[in-house]
Amino acid sequence: MTTCLIGLDWGSTYLRAYRFDARGQVLEKRALPYGIRHLPEGGYPAAFAQAVEGWPDAPVLACGMVGSRNGWREVPYLDTPTGVDRLARALTPMTTPDGRRLHLVPGLRDPVRPDVMRGEETQIVGVMAQTPDIARHGCLLLPGTHSKWVTLREGVVTGFATVMTGELFGLLTQHSLLGAQLPPAVDDTGAFRRGVDTARDSGAAGALSRVFSARTLMLDGSLPPTSVPDYLSGLLIGDELRMAIAAGWADAHTQVHMVGEGPLCDRYLRAAERFALTLRAAPDATTSHGLWCIAEAAGLTSTHATA
Amino acid sequence: MTTCLIGLDWGSTYLRAYRFDARGQVLEKRALPYGIRHLPEGGYPAAFAQAVEGWPDAPVLACGMVGSRNGWREVPYLDTPTGVDRLARALTPMTTPDGRRLHLVPGLRDPVRPDVMRGEETQIVGVMAQTPDIARHGCLLLPGTHSKWVTLREGVVTGFATVMTGELFGLLTQHSLLGAQLPPAVDDTGAFRRGVDTARDSGAAGALSRVFSARTLMLDGSLPPTSVPDYLSGLLIGDELRMAIAAGWADAHTQVHMVGEGPLCDRYLRAAERFALTLRAAPDATTSHGLWCIAEAAGLTSTHATA
């Protein structure tokens, strides 16, 4: 089969490689543990060589932290509002040591808040291509270590905001007094819901004004020590939803489409049920599709087809 | 001089001992590094023996984490509303291995939020005794790792709330992406004020919806990496003031009296200037005075005077 494009999703902790045919179908994919924080001996060139080893010569498009300040080459952010065409015109080309042509996708910057993302812009392009109605008028949620709330209008990212929910959860459970000396966590959906409701009911003060309750309730005996992590998870995810409504990123009249699946997304779905917020799962596996769309808009897929 | 009482302020990281005369004056004080997390060989009895070594036999009153679940003996919390008389009636007596009579002050529990404190209740008693007008109708702020906002009416603690501002600052600057790989901090009052204003202007969404700006502004070049800690300090202290107003712990019509002094309290004073909030410094060194007041209310100071 013809290889028309190689796509790389290169983040802090992972490197995923995709080989595409001329119709944008993924012929082969690889996952390597070489995020930019965990490079092998030989650094970027060695990781890159392994990712594309044995694959035909075709244009390579890469997104994610590989284009950050600590990446292979720093690619300036592109300011919102931005659609796929502006992204495609802003690729940074470079030649790798093994002679391949690599194009780096810029991250996005919302100059109003200000805020930044790298990698998610490509996921968003993939979602927009698959669901035109969301692209026309939508609110996307990409949950994770650094959750993103994205506003879409007429196929353009008009603005976005980052909430450090996942990272904060890690800090509180691993390093704070609240999480210290706890026995191993046990699933407790009731404790999760209790945390969500506490955040929702914290009003304009917000859940940080209530986070110490994780300790108080535990000392009280009304929250088992093994359930503190689920309570904190509910409190922080609930607070993210609370602040999304308070900040106007989401409202009761707009469906929020969540990108992803798995246990974390399930938590967001369960939390949303406690709010006047309609949260739907959007199609996943969108980064590879986004890479293809950006490459197509940049004219990379038509010129270099090789056997 | 007659020793009428020995007071111990025994927290997680420190142990302070006071020897009082019959009028409540401190004749001698000692500071030992034996917080309950850093006990010497021999544990509580050894730390206690060193703290009172060579002092005459007199009743000993101790407050703080020494009465917590991980303390020498767990003392149940006393529910608010509570004044000095109820505290004095709820002391837990014990006899130490060297035969001294030790009384432990209970911590307080606000059953409505719920919330807890240990040690601060004694500081508050000290403030109330020194400033009757604040005791009658006041709002106290005790800044720290776990800041406390306390409501006082007619000499009684009617309720309180904990905000983990100091601990969160430590987590974000030492363990998060925002604080990782930064050069040593440099004082930047402008960055602090910018953080305060960002929190103030975050409205009902709150400063957690803005905390990622610490990274964005740094990547932008508009916040020097050495100023990120001051920016985060402003953001978190500003958010504490924002939530105190949003939660109704403080309002524009009530003076807030802050217990303490030094660089941290200076930060709160500077932050309050950016809000419609009147923050005043209350007298410090109140824990020793509070110990005396509780002992007096409990009748401990009249019966055991020894030379």
Q: Is the complex ipTM higher than 0.90? A: yes
The pLDDT of residue B282 is: 81
Element (H, E) at A288: helix A286-297
Question: Is the bond into A224 cis (omega within 30 degrees of 0)?
Answer: no
pLDDT at A180: 82
pLDDT (mean) for A184-191? 96
User: CA angle, corner B112, sides to B163 and A238, nearest 5?
Assistant: 55
Length of chain A equals: 307
Tens of pLDDT, residue by residue over A87-104, are 999 999 999 999 999 999
Whether the CB of B13 is below 8 Å from some CB of chain A: the reply is: no
Closest by CA to B164, choosing from A92, A273, A168, A95, is A168
Average pLDDT, chain B: 94
How buried is residue B99: exposed, middle or buried, by Cβ count under 10 Å (0-12/13-18/19+)? exposed
For B188-230, write each residue's pLDDT tens digit.
999 999 999 999 999 999 999 999 999 999 998 999 999 999 9
Identical topology for domains B5-131+287-297 and B162-282: yes
Segment B268-278 shows an average pLDDT of: 94
Residues 111-150 of A with CB under 8 A from B: 113-116, 146
Give the count of beta carbons closer than 10 Å to the beta carbon of residue B278: 14
Residue B134: C-alpha distances to residues A294, B246, B279, B295 (Å): 65, 22, 13, 21
Which CATH code fits A162-282?
3.30.420.310
List the single range of A231-240, B149-158, B249-258 with lowest mean pLDDT. Answer: B249-258
Torsion over CA: B248, B168, A246, A80 (sign): positive
Over residues B148-171, the mean pLDDT reads: 97
> Could you give the angle at the alpha carbon of A155 between the alpha carbons of A149 and A156, nearest 5°?
60
pLDDT tens for each residue of A200-228: 999 999 999 999 999 999 999 999 999 99
Res. B1 pLDDT band, cuts 50 70 90: low
Question: Do A243 and B210 lie within an 8 Å CB cutoff?
Answer: no
Q: Would you say A288 and A3 are in contact if contact means Cβ atoms under 8 Å apart?
A: no
Question: What is residue A285's predicted lDDT score, i.e. its pLDDT?
Answer: 67
Taking 80 as the threshold, does the pLDDT of residue A24 lie above it?
yes
Q: What are the pLDDT digits (tens) for A168-178?
A: 999 999 999 99
Please give the Cα distance from B182 to B176 (Å, whole number).
Answer: 11
H helix intervals, chain B: 43-52, 84-89, 120-130, 132-136, 165-175, 189-200, 213-220, 228-246, 263-272, 286-297
The candidate with the shortest Cα–Cα distance to A61, out of A303, A295, A302, is A295
Domain ranges within chain A, ordered by starting residue: 5-131+287-297, 162-282
Between A115, A207, A243, which is nearest B212 by CB? A115
- Percentage of chain B beyond pLDDT 90 is 90
| B10 close to B66: Cβ distance less than 8 angstroms | yes
Largest CA distance in chain B: 68
The mean pLDDT value for B179-187 works out to 91
List CB contacts (< 8 A) between B172 and chain A.
171
User: Is the Cβ of A252 closer than 8 Å to some Cβ of chain B?
Assistant: no
| pLDDT at residue A126 tops 70 | yes
| A64 pLDDT higher than 80 | yes
Range of lowest pLDDT (A254-263, A288-297, B25-34, B198-207): A254-263
Q: Is the pLDDT of residue A243 over 60?
A: yes
Given the DSSP bridges, would you call strands A147-153 and A137-142 parallel, antiparallel or unpaired? antiparallel
pLDDT for the residue numbered B285 = 67
Instruction: Please tell me the predicted confidence (pLDDT) of residue B180.
Output: 82
Across the interface, do A247 and B216 touch by the CB < 8 Å criterion? no
Q: Is A246 on the interface with B (CB under 8 A)?
A: yes
Residue whose C-alpha is closest to residue B155's, from B293, B29, B301, B1? B293
Strand B92-95 versus strand B101-104 pairing type:
antiparallel
Strand order of the β-sheet with A115-117 is: A78-79, A108-110, A115-117
Amino acid B307: pLDDT = 42
Chain centroid to Cα A103, Å, comes to 21
Topology of domain A5-131+287-297 in CATH is Nucleotidyltransferase; domain 5 (3.30.420)
Q: Which residue type does A34 have?
A: Y
In angstroms, rounded to a whole number, what is the distance separating the alpha carbons of residues B128 and B239? 27
- CA dist., res. A67 & res. A104, Å (int): 6
Residue A103 · residue A60 · CB < 8 Å: yes
pLDDT tens across B46-89, in order? Answer: 999 999 999 999 999 999 999 999 899 999 999 999 999 999 99
Q: Which of B164, B200, B239 to mutate to test the interface with A (most CBs of A within 10 A)?
A: B164
Is residue A39 predicted with pLDDT exceeding 50?
yes
Q: Is the pLDDT of residue A37 over 90?
A: yes
Q: Establish how many alpha carbons lie within 13 A of residue B90's alpha carbon, considering only the half-sphere containing its beta carbon.
A: 20
- Mean pLDDT (chain A, rounded): 94
- Give the amino acid at B305: A
Q: In what order do the strands lie in the sheet with B108-110?
A: B78-79, B108-110, B115-117
Is residue B157 within 8 Å of residue B140, measured between CB atoms?
no
Asked if A164 and B211 come within 8 Å (Cβ–Cβ), the reply is yes
Angle at CA of residue B20, ends B15 and B25, nearest 5°: 115
pLDDT tens, position by position, A135-169: 999 999 999 999 999 999 999 999 999 999 999 99
Give the minimum alpha-carbon distance from A246 to chain B in angstroms, rounded to a whole number: 5
User: Confidence class of residue A199 from pLDDT cuts 50, 70 and 90?
Assistant: very high
Q: In what order do the strands lie in the sheet with B279-282?
A: B156-163, B147-153, B137-142, B256-259, B279-282
What integer pLDDT is reported at residue A129 of this predicted model? Answer: 94
Q: Where do runs of H (alpha helix) occur along A182-285?
A: 189-200, 213-220, 228-247, 263-272
Which residue in B114, B175, B247 is closest to A171 by CB distance? B175
